[in-house]
């Protein structure tokens, strides 16, 4: 064996294998793409995961009402249905 251990992307916050990618939009149609393990990927919407740092940003962003505006350009945000 030349290399032992796990291959593939590793979590940006710890040494585990990163099965998830941060979907936080960083502009230019790109996303953060930081590899994240199960425990560091925060699911903010179905199939949308954010890294710890971006999850904080996302919460601040959401709190100031920026979501609506970004939704026009960015797909990943899924708003919960409002029954009204
Ligand atoms: Zn991790
Ligand atoms: Zn991120």
17-37 pLDDT per residue, tens = 999 999 998 999 999 999 999
Report which secondary-structure segment, H or E, holds 57.
helix 52-63
* pTM confidence score: 0.66
Residues 6 or more apart whose CB falls under 8 angstroms from that of 64 comprise none
CA of 24 to the centre of ligand 2 (A): 5
33-76 pLDDT per residue, tens = 999 999 999 999 999 999 999 999 989 888 887 666 555 555 55
CA of 8 to the centre of ligand 1 (A): 14
Domain hosting residue 28, numbered range:
20-71
Does residue 35 belong to any structural domain of this protein? Answer: yes
Does residue 76 belong to any structural domain of this protein? Answer: no
Grade residue 5 by pLDDT with cuts at 50, 70 and 90: low
Q: What is the pLDDT of residue 1?
A: 41
Does residue 1 belong to any structural domain of this protein? Answer: no
CA of 2 to the centre of ligand 2 (A): 31
Q: For the chain, give percent helix, strand, coil, nearest 5.
A: 20, 20, 60
Does residue 2 belong to any structural domain of this protein? Answer: no
User: Near ion ligand 1, which residues have CB within 5 Å?
Assistant: 11, 13-14, 16, 37, 40
Does residue 24 belong to any structural domain of this protein? Answer: yes
Count up the domains in the chain and report the number. Answer: 1
């Amino acid at each position: 064996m030349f290399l032992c251990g796990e291959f593939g992307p590793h979590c940006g916050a710890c040494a585990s294998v990163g099965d998830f990618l941060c979907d936080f939009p960083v502009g230019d149609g790109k996303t953060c793409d930081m590899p994240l393990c199960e425990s560091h990927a925060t699911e903010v919407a179905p199939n949308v995961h954010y890294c710890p740092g971006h999850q904080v940003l996302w919460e601040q962003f959401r709190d100031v009402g920026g979501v609506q505006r970004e939704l026009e350009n960015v797909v990943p945000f899924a708003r919960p249905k409002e029954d009204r």
